[in-house]
Amino acid sequence: MKTTDKYKHDWQEQLAKCIRCGTCRSVCPVFAVTGNENSTARGKVRLIEAVTEGDLELTHEMQQRISQCLMCKACVTGCPSSVKTDWLFLDARKALAEENSVPFMKKLAFTSLTYRWLFEKALGAGTLLQRLVLKDSPDGRGMVSRIPLPAAGLNARRIIPPLATKPLRSNPLVLKPRGPRRARVAFFTGCMLNYVYPDAGKAIVDILVHNGIEVTLPIDQYCCGTPAFTSGDFPVGRYLAERNIEALSKQPLDAIITGCPSCGLALKHEYGHIIDDPRLKEKWTEIATKVHDITQFLVEIGHREDFHEVKLKLTYHDPCHLVRGMGVSQEPRQMLKAIPGIDFVEMAHADECCGAGGTFSLSYYDISRQINDKKLDAAQDTNAQVLVTGCSVCRMHIDDGLSRRQGTIKVRHTAEILAAAYRIPGKEVIS
């Protein structure tokens, strides 16, 4: 059976709903830069429709066009016909990967995620050896490649954070609450908070403990799988999803906490679309109801209000997968504004994509930089000292942009500001 014939039936309902109104053009960050109709949701819907009608094939060129999308969901929330463009594009990527396979370097990277022991050893070696290929950036924001490495998405100017010398999950894996236990949660760390920003991950653990929550960090958790399945590699994405469902259903839990919106979106919604096994799907249904972003959870249970003064002017960037994926936007603002001394200034278009888009910025760095420039202009217009966000990939991309324009704004995870306000030892107020 042709790959198209396998999926045609599933796609037709969504394709038929599109009324070609073009509303999605006005919200698409990629279209705003490229001006190319193929970048819009409408353009991609039309391409997929042409495939189902037999006018186009699932070619490499089609794979490229469908991949030129941040998966930011702006077109989903803005669509008057409720076309589920996110599911449609995800399925199209899956079909295209089945037909053409995933690019070799990506396939290699995704497959390595399924061998966690080996992956962790490789990252351990990478931590030791990273200085051979990377050097400190002049402004101290991160590291920059000594030579261009296009296969890894690195040019000689791109700033990336170093791998942590000690991953978050090398710390104790069960943490008792401060005071009487109010709940018992698992913290799904994801890769970025574990291997790149463990201080932000530790801040999440600390503020949970401070709020009377017992925290476990399941040792057998894997990457959430988002980079794999959003690139169409469903076999790897499914394998990782299944391992995580097993890992999170081993013990009784009141909630599963995430500090990475893409992990949260995967665990809460996308796994339902990826898993086939009915037994695991049933387990996932229970898990999905428990998944909460850190600030969402703290606001829901009623967080402690013993905040100390933090004299900072802040602005906040909404990660796409947090605001449109998990529906969380007020909770981080509410908590940050409750800290005495915080001068909170909204930036213009705070919920617009920063241009990172997971692996998008690796493949389309120039477009992602141009999208990011608008975010940086808006942030700098506020004169804030710190830009706060709940996503490590946004943080990395914004830091890179700020470094390129020698900006002075610091970028921090929401949890780090909260930990500083709770005066948790080791969590200095950002100066």
Q: Which positions touch ligand SF4 (CB under 6 A)? A: 18-24, 27-30, 40-42, 45, 69-75, 79, 81, 83, 85
Q: Of the two residues 73 and 395, which places its CB atom closer to ligand SF4 in the complex?
A: 73
The CB-of-65 to ligand SF4 minimum distance in angstroms stands at 11
Q: How far apart are the first and last CA of the chain?
A: 61
The CB-of-349 to ligand SF4 minimum distance in angstroms stands at 13
The CB-of-46 to ligand SF4 minimum distance in angstroms stands at 9
Strand partners, 387: 315, 411
- Tell which residue, 121, 171, 162, has the closest CA to residue 143: 162
Please provide the DSSP assignment of 295-354 as one string: HHHHHHH-----PPP--EEEEEE--HIIIIIS--SHHHHHHHHTSTTEEE-PPTTTTS--
Residue 293 buriedness (CB in 10 A; 0-12 / 13-18 / 19+): buried
Q: Of the two residues 27 and 144, which places its CB atom closer to ligand SF4 in the complex?
A: 27
Q: Of the two residues 397 and 427, which places its CB atom closer to ligand SF4 in the complex?
A: 397
The CB-of-85 to ligand SF4 minimum distance in angstroms stands at 6
CA distance 102 to 119: 19
Q: Of the two residues 198 and 232, which places its CB atom closer to ligand SF4 in the complex?
A: 232
CA distance 56 to 51: 5
Contact call for residues 404 and 294 (beta carbons, < 8 A): no
Q: Of the two residues 88 and 160, which places its CB atom closer to ligand SF4 in the complex?
A: 88
The CB-of-267 to ligand SF4 minimum distance in angstroms stands at 20
Q: Where are the alpha helices (DSSP H) in 54-187?
A: 60-67, 74-78, 85-100, 104-114, 116-133
Q: Of the two residues 40 and 221, which places its CB atom closer to ligand SF4 in the complex?
A: 40
The CB-of-39 to ligand SF4 minimum distance in angstroms stands at 6
Q: Of the two residues 12 and 165, which places its CB atom closer to ligand SF4 in the complex?
A: 12
The CB-of-371 to ligand SF4 minimum distance in angstroms stands at 9
Residue 20 buriedness (CB in 10 A; 0-12 / 13-18 / 19+): exposed
Residue 124 buriedness (CB in 10 A; 0-12 / 13-18 / 19+): middle
